[in-house]
Amino acid sequence: MNVAIIGVGLIGGSMAITLKEKGFASHVTGVDASETHAQKALELGLVDEIMTLGPAVKKADLIILATPINAAEALLPLIMQEVDKQVVMDVGSTKKNICELASQFKSRGRFVATHPMWGTEYSGPEAAIKGAFVNKATVICSKEDSDADAVAMVEKVYGLLGMHIVYMNAEGHDVHVAYVSHISHITSFALANTVLEKEREEDAIFELASGGFESTVRLAKSNPAMWVPIFMQNRDNVLDVLNEHIAQLRKFKACLEKENYEYLEELIGKANGIRRIIK
């Protein structure tokens, strides 16, 4: 199986490791806008060769589009124009726009929209991790718009990665990820900026930072080149959840202002209900 990975960074590189290890990919071709990233991916053995987009697509049986979503939308038309029997899958964090874009091509059935729900705050080929996706969820969106054999191939890929699959439509996906992923990143970015604004002595941050703070702001190290396009594309859903989040923060603020510690305890107790979702 010849696999072309467009964007050999954290996600694409981590996929390459497992697909080669499992014997699914007999040959992996890398395509990357960054010459530095491309050469590093080759050096690390994530890919077997580096090619430009057109030849890589024509050579491949499976094309994995693993760039930031704004780049993915720019590249998808170029890929779909070259597609015959190849399967194309993306791994972006929003799905409505890219599914609408894919639907403009007669080869739409060869495209499978997916979103593996895993990532770290790091980027680039050096960030690729072995066994990264095991026991994590992945979403396949609007599978009825894709050919059955294309979906089957993508399901096999995610099975080899050790992921369990959730099926939903593209619009529903974008609503749900606004709540479980996108708001978490905004909160982390905002908290990091709050601390950096208030705490001018950086040494004090480093000395006092504990596990709770580190885990909360870990996402603030994420690449803005990836996250700004996500927030742009999922703007309405992110604004909806952000408004609710601000309303919740105001409740905590009011409790402290009015010294209403009984209600504060109630709010914290209610928040403990998240244990039903996160064990």
**pTM beyond cutoff 0.85:** yes
CATH of 173-276, one of 1.10.3660.10, 1.20.120.1760, 3.20.20.70, 3.40.50.150: 1.10.3660.10
Domain 2-168 CATH (choose: 3.40.50.1100, 3.40.50.720, 3.30.950.10, 1.10.3720.10):
3.40.50.720
Query: pLDDT tens per residue, the chain (279 residues)?
Result: 999 999 999 999 999 999 999 999 999 999 999 999 999 999 999 999 999 999 999 999 999 999 999 999 999 999 999 999 999 999 999 999 999 999 999 999 999 999 999 998 889 999 999 999 999 999 999 999 999 999 999 999 999 999 999 999 999 999 999 998 999 999 999 988 988 877 766 666 666 666 677 777 888 999 999 999 999 999 999 999 999 999 999 999 999 999 999 999 999 999 999 888 776
**What pLDDT was estimated at residue 217?**
84
Structural domain boundaries of the chain? 2-168, 173-276
* DSSP string for residues in the chain: -EEEEES-SHHHHHHHHHHHHTTS-SEEEEE-S-HHHHHHHHHTTS-SEE--HHHHHHH-SEEEE-S-HHHHHHHHHHHHTT-SS-EEEE--S--HHHHHHHTTSTTGGGEEEEEE----S--SGGG--TTTTTT-EEEEE-GGGS-HHHHHHHHHHHHHTTPEEEEE-HHHHHHHHIIIIIHHHHHHHHHHHHHHHH---HHHHHHH--HHHHHHHGGGGS-HHHHHHHHHHTHHHHHHHHHHHHHHHHHHHHHHHTT-HHHHHHHHHHHGGGGGT--
